[in-house]
Amino acid sequence: MTTQVKTSNLGYPRIGANREWKKALEGYWAGRTQEEQLRAEMDRMQLGNLRKQQEAGIDLIPVGDFTYYDHVLDTAVMFGIVPPRYRYEDRPAGLDLYFAMARGNSRAAACEMTKWFNTNYHYIVPEIGDLKPVLTENKPLAAYRFAKSQAGIDGKPVVIGLYTFLKLSKGFAPSEIRSVAQRFLPVYVQLLQELEREGAAWVQIDEPAVVTGLREEDIKLLSEIYGELHSAVPGLSIMLQTYFESAEPLEALLKLPVQGIGLDFVHDSGANLEAIERLGWPKDKTLGAGVIDGRGIWRCDPDDKLALAQRLTALVPEGKLILQPSSSLLHVPVTVRSEEKLKPEVRSALAFADEKLAELALLKRALLEGRDAAGASLAETQAALAAFRKLPERSRADVAELERGLAELPDRRSPAYAERAKRQQDKWRLPLLPTTTIGSFPQTPEVRQARLKWRKGELSEEVYDGFIRRQIADSIALQENIGLDVLVHGEFERTDMVEFFGEKLDGFLFTQNGWVQSYGSRCVKPPVIYADVAFTEPMTVKESVYAQSLTKLPVKGMLTGPVTILNWSFVRDDLSRERLANQIALALRQEVLALESAGVEMIQVDEPAVREGLPLKEKDRRHYLDWAVKSFRISTNLVRDTTQIHTHMCYCEFGDMIDSISDMDADVISIETSRSHGELIASFEKMEYDKGIGLGVYDIHSPRVPSVEEMETGIDRALRVLHPEQFWINPDCGLKTRGWSETEASLRNMVAAAEDARKKARAIQP
pLDDT along the chain (766 residues), means of 10: 86 97 97 97 98 98 98 97 85 87 90 91 96 96 98 98 98 97 98 98 98 96 98 97 97 98 97 97 97 97 95 96 98 96 96 98 93 87 96 96 90 92 96 96 94 94 96 98 98 91 95 95 94 97 98 98 96 96 98 98 94 89 95 96 93 69 93 64 72 88 88 88 92 91 96 95 76
Residue 90: predicted pLDDT: 63
Residue 652: predicted pLDDT: 53
- The 8-class DSSP code of residue 231 comes to H
Known binding-site residues for L-methionine equal 438-440, 491, 606
Question: Among 293, 328, 363, where does a domain finish?
Answer: 328
State the amino acid at position 117 in one-letter form: F
Question: Among 279, 294, 328, where does a domain finish?
Answer: 328
Task: Answer whether residue 668 is part of any domain.
Answer: yes
Known binding-site residues equal 19-22, 115, 120, 438-440, 491, 522-523, 568, 606, 612, 648, 650, 663, 672, 733
CA 605 to chain centre: 19
pTM reported for the whole predicted model: 0.90
The torsion angle over the Cα atoms of residues 433, 434, 440 and 441, rounded to 10 degrees, is 100
Task: Answer whether residue 337 is part of any domain.
Answer: no
The answer to whether 664 touches 632, Cβ cutoff 8 Å, is: yes
Residue 689: predicted pLDDT: 82
- The 8-class DSSP code of residue 118 comes to T
Task: Answer whether residue 415 is part of any domain.
Answer: no
Distance CA 108, CA 766 (A): 39
Task: Answer whether residue 300 is part of any domain.
Answer: yes
Residue 474: predicted pLDDT: 97
Residue 678: predicted pLDDT: 55
Task: Answer whether residue 386 is part of any domain.
Answer: no
Distance CA 570, CA 435 (A): 35
Residues 119 and 235 in one domain: yes
Distance CA 738, CA 191 (A): 39
State the amino acid at position 623 in one-letter form: H
Task: Answer whether residue 425 is part of any domain.
Answer: no
The answer to whether 165 touches 210, Cβ cutoff 8 Å, is: no
Question: Among 284, 308, 328, where does a domain finish?
Answer: 328
Distance CA 104, CA 84 (A): 13
Active site residues: 701
Known binding-site residues for Zn(2+) equal 648, 650, 663, 672, 733
Cα angle 142-148-152, degrees, rounded to a multiple of 5: 160
Residue 342: predicted pLDDT: 95
- The 8-class DSSP code of residue 60 comes to B
Task: Answer whether residue 410 is part of any domain.
Answer: no
User: Edge-to-edge strand order for the sheet containing 506-509?
Assistant: 506-509, 528-534, 570-571
**Which CATH number covers residue 617?**
3.20.20.210
Task: Answer whether residue 420 is part of any domain.
Answer: no
Distance CA 45, CA 281 (A): 39
The answer to whether 78 touches 139, Cβ cutoff 8 Å, is: yes
Residues 155 and 301 in one domain: yes
Residue 701: predicted pLDDT: 76
Domain ranges, residue 486:
433-506+534-761
Known binding-site residues for L-homocysteine equal 438-440, 491, 606
Taking all residues of the chain, what is their mean pLDDT, rounded to a whole number?
94
Cα angle 116-120-122, degrees, rounded to a multiple of 5: 45
Cβ-defined contacts of 97-104 (< 8 Å, 24+):
98/68, 98/69, 98/73, 99/29, 99/69, 101/73, 101/76, 101/77, 102/69, 102/70, 102/73, 102/520, 103/29, 103/520, 103/701, 103/702, 103/703, 104/699, 104/702, 104/703, 104/704
Number of structural domains the chain divides into: 2
Burial 698-734, CB ≥16 within 10 A → b, else e = bbbbbbbbbebebbbbbbebbbebbebeebbbbbbbb
Residue 763: predicted pLDDT: 82
Residue 680: predicted pLDDT: 62
**E strand or H helix at 764, and its extent?**
helix 740-764
Burial 359-379, CB ≥16 within 10 A → b, else e = bbbbbbbbbeeeeeebeebbe
